Amino acid sequence: MDETTKKKYILLAEFLHKTLGSEYEIILHDFEDEKHSIIFLANEHISGRSKENPFTDSTFDFIRDKTAIDNDYAISHKGITQNNKVIRSSSLFIKDDNNKLIGMLCINFDGSKYVNLAKNILQLTNMENASIENERLHHYDFIDNTPNDIIEVAENLLDDALDYSDIPVGRLNQEEKIDIVRKLNNKGVFRLKGAVTEVAEKLGVSEATLYRYIRIASKDK
pLDDT band at 28 (very low <50, low <70, confident <90, very high): very high
Q: Is 202 helix (H, G, I), strand (E, B) or coil?
A: helix
Domain ranges of the chain: 3-112, 150-219
With pLDDT > 90 as the criterion, what percentage of the chain qualifies? 23
Residue with the larger pLDDT of the pair 163 and 34: 34
Mean pLDDT for the stretch of residues 190-204 = 82
Distance CA 41, CA 29 (A): 9
pTM, to two decimals: 0.56
Digit-coded pLDDT (tens) for 109-155: 887 777 677 777 667 665 545 444 444 444 333 344 444 455 566 66
On average, the pLDDT of the chain sits at 77
Mapped onto helix, strand or coil, the DSSP state of residue 161 is helix
Sign of the dihedral defined by the CA atoms of residues 112, 116, 122, 125, in that order = negative
Per-residue pLDDT, averaged over 25-29, amounts to: 94
Residue 207 has pLDDT above 60, yes or no: yes
Task: Write out the CATH class of domain 3-112.
Answer: alpha beta
Task: State CA 133 to chain mean position distance.
Answer: 27
- Residue 3: count of CB within 10 angstroms of its CB: 7
Q: Would you give the DSSP letter of residue 13? A: H
pLDDT reported for residue 195? 81
Give pLDDT, residue 58.
Answer: 67
Question: Are 20 and 108 a contacting pair, CB within 8 Å?
Answer: no
What share of residues in the chain are helix, strand, coil (percent, to 5)? 45, 20, 35
Whether the pLDDT of residue 26 is over 60: the answer is yes
According to DSSP, the residues that pair with 73 across neighbouring strands are 92
Selection from 19-28, 47-56, 161-170, 193-202 with the highest mean pLDDT: 19-28
For residue 21, is pLDDT > 70? yes
